[in-house]
Amino acid sequence: MTQILLIRHAVNDFVKTGKLAGWTPEVHLNDEGKAQAEALGKRLAEVPITQIYASPLERTMETAAAVQQHHPKLQIQPNEAIGEVRYGDWEGKEISVLQKRKMWHVVQEYPSRAYFPNGETMRGVQIRAVNEIERLAAQHPRELVAVVSHADLIKMILAHFLGMHLDAFQRIVVSPASISTLMLGYGRPYIGTMNDVAHIAQMEREKKQPTASDGAHAR
């Protein structure tokens, strides 16, 4: 079997703009995102990863770089087929404005019927993502492959291999810097883990622990 780690990129500040990022360039990890990516990299340091693929956007490549730091013999392979949804005319627009459009509600409730003007359909996005995962599994038999992508892409991939209809994919939670594990071989696929954020939880716990200097000040 090929084991595929589906990794969502860490957080960035673009969400604070209230706009739909999509393929907007120069969306980088913020300080919290860099810390999340570092925790992710440490979590996967001893995992025998043989390939690292990433969506070519900055936030995914930077997250992948934190993993690659612990696997210096590997190269990050940019891959547009696991890139973000192409939102067409919606890209960079205010979400508060988009929410007033009928298609916004179709995207939320019936994504299998949704399309973005001059962009992709949600069905098309799922098809390209799943086809690429199948291609990678066939290309790397019995390997452990890291794929750094985006929330909706990962949710669509998981929904497909869980046998869920696309209209239910938003029920799946995929958090920043999370790991979900997919195993593909001959026959039935397996989902080993979903939305594993133990490394992020550990990072948050360590932040709250008092340091030696804190104790000295307290005295």
Q: In whole angstroms, what is the distance from residue 123 CA to residue 114 CA?
A: 8
Please state, as a whole number, how many other Cβ atoms lie within 10 Å of the Cβ of residue 96. 9
Within its chain, how far is the Cα of 210 from the centroid?
Answer: 32
As a whole number, the mean pLDDT across the chain is 94
Amino acid at 151: A
What are residue 45's DSSP bridge partners? none
- The answer to whether the Cα torsion of 40, 43, 45, 50 is positive or negative is negative
Q: pLDDT, tens digit, for every residue of 152-184?
A: 999 999 999 999 999 999 999 999 999 999 999
Q: pLDDT, tens digit, for every residue of 47-106?
A: 999 999 999 999 999 999 999 999 999 999 999 999 999 999 999 999 999 999 999 999
| Phi (first) and psi of residue 177, to 5 degrees | 65, 20
Confidence of residue 16 (pLDDT cuts 50, 70, 90): confident
pLDDT at 17: 92
> By percentage, how much of the chain surpasses pLDDT 70?
96
Confidence of residue 219 (pLDDT cuts 50, 70, 90): low
> By percentage, how much of the chain surpasses pLDDT 90?
91
pLDDT at 209: 81
Within its chain, how far is the Cα of 166 from the centroid?
Answer: 17
